[in-house]
Chain A
């Protein structure tokens, strides 16, 4: 289902660091600051632009957290859309080159 595939990559404009299992993320363009909970942190860290979101959810979220796959993907898409609207993540239907090194 290629039309359903979403690829996500971290923007090069952001700063990020994990603090006690939660990711702090700041967009230098507007200084918006977020903290991501452990589940969101896993998605953020796996956002390499090459792995489809569905695969990230299946391999990282459902593996680590006891969660319904369908619900997990739905939540992940919502989370990705929100971070994308703040310029934190870049979303595409094609594989991306991650702008940030790590």
Chain B
């Protein structure tokens, strides 16, 4: 076990919130077709309020903080916030679309000692990326920003969210990442809007394409291990928990709302009304999330996948119960291994029901244009 994993487990068992994801704004300069956020400002925390939250988080033992949005640079005080966080000795990661990062901003990010910058790139084809972000020339600007950040020696990760419009572009984005000298990560999960609207789920890639992705060694590494049939769960597996949400991780919205995770919209308290540690330690909702072991799951406890499934309690919550199954993860388990899940079997399904409710593409992409990516450095 790596030192980092050991520390993570220690924080988990002690109930220390070692990592926090904080959205500093929901405002954004892009309008990505799959985004789950409402981009209007309904009363973001001020600079002073965010600094106070950071003080509280440092006091609570938070070590890793991820600033995200929305687009973080829509806040004029963003660098002031990062500077303050770094003075409190947080390990800072930033998630951004990077279109507002130029040489000066890249230098500033380096000076502040930011650990990693994760940047969304949807395709190596500018017209596909721009059609998803709905911001003309966003691909060109994003790639140019990545070059600025790399010139500063910063660690960058390209996050490639896959959906119907770009499902065949992952290898192109991987090549682009290699050319830029940055890490690549793929995510095939499209989540419902935070208000519960599920219309964006129609953008999820079809199951057969998910299967191709899960069986592609270039994406998953050791495909044999990754796609191996599930092992029968041990007693220890059934005593285990789904993930770190609410145990050693939580999410804070731009309005000060605290949730177990960015993908788990269960309100547990608001920092404008309560101290962070009071919410973390005493919120009944946090306590409930923390109490759920695999053996308590209504359907999944009897599922053959229970020890290896990526079951997200937040997605399950959005489906109706935080103790119930998450169909998106059932789908992943099935297409990864070919073994139906308990949730599918109880519905008499031999393969997952398609999540697509609208078969017409929500965005129109022009035919593929084969042209080199030429972005001035």
Question: Which residues of A come within 8 Å of B, CB atoms?
Answer: 12-20, 24, 26, 28-29, 31, 33-35, 100-102
Are A19 and B3 in contact, with the CB atoms below 8 A?
no
Task: Report the contact-size class of chain B (Cβ under 8 Å from the partner).
Answer: 20 to 34
* Residues in B whose Cβ lies below 8 Å from that of A102: 87-89
Question: Which residues of B come within 8 Å of A, CB atoms?
Answer: 3-4, 7, 10-11, 14, 16, 18, 58, 61-63, 86-92, 113-115, 155
Are A101 and B10 in contact, with the CB atoms below 8 A?
no
Q: Which residue of A lies closest to B62 (CB)?
A: A17
Q: Which residue of A lies closest to B14 (CB)?
A: A20
CB distance from A4 to the nearest CB of B (A): 30
Number of residue pairs across A and B with beta carbons under 8 Å? Answer: 61
Are A17 and B89 in contact, with the CB atoms below 8 A?
yes
Given contacts A31-B155, A35-B3, A102-B89, contact A17 B63 (CB under 8 A): yes
Given contacts A24-B63, A26-B115, A28-B114, contact A14 B4 (CB under 8 A): no
Are B88 and A19 in contact, with the CB atoms below 8 A?
no
Are A19 and B155 in contact, with the CB atoms below 8 A?
no
Q: Which residue of B lies closest to A30 (CB)?
A: B155
- 17 further interface pairs, Cβ-Cβ under 8 Å (given A15-B89, A19-B18): A15-B86, A15-B91, A15-B115, A17-B63, A19-B7, A19-B10, A19-B16, A19-B61, A24-B7, A28-B91, A29-B113, A31-B115, A33-B7, A34-B3, A100-B89, A101-B87, A102-B89
Are A15 and B11 in contact, with the CB atoms below 8 A?
no
CB distance from A20 to the nearest CB of B (A): 6
Q: State A33–B4 Cα separation when bound (angstroms).
A: 7
Are A15 and B92 in contact, with the CB atoms below 8 A?
yes
Given contacts A20-B10, A102-B89, contact A12 B115 (CB under 8 A): no
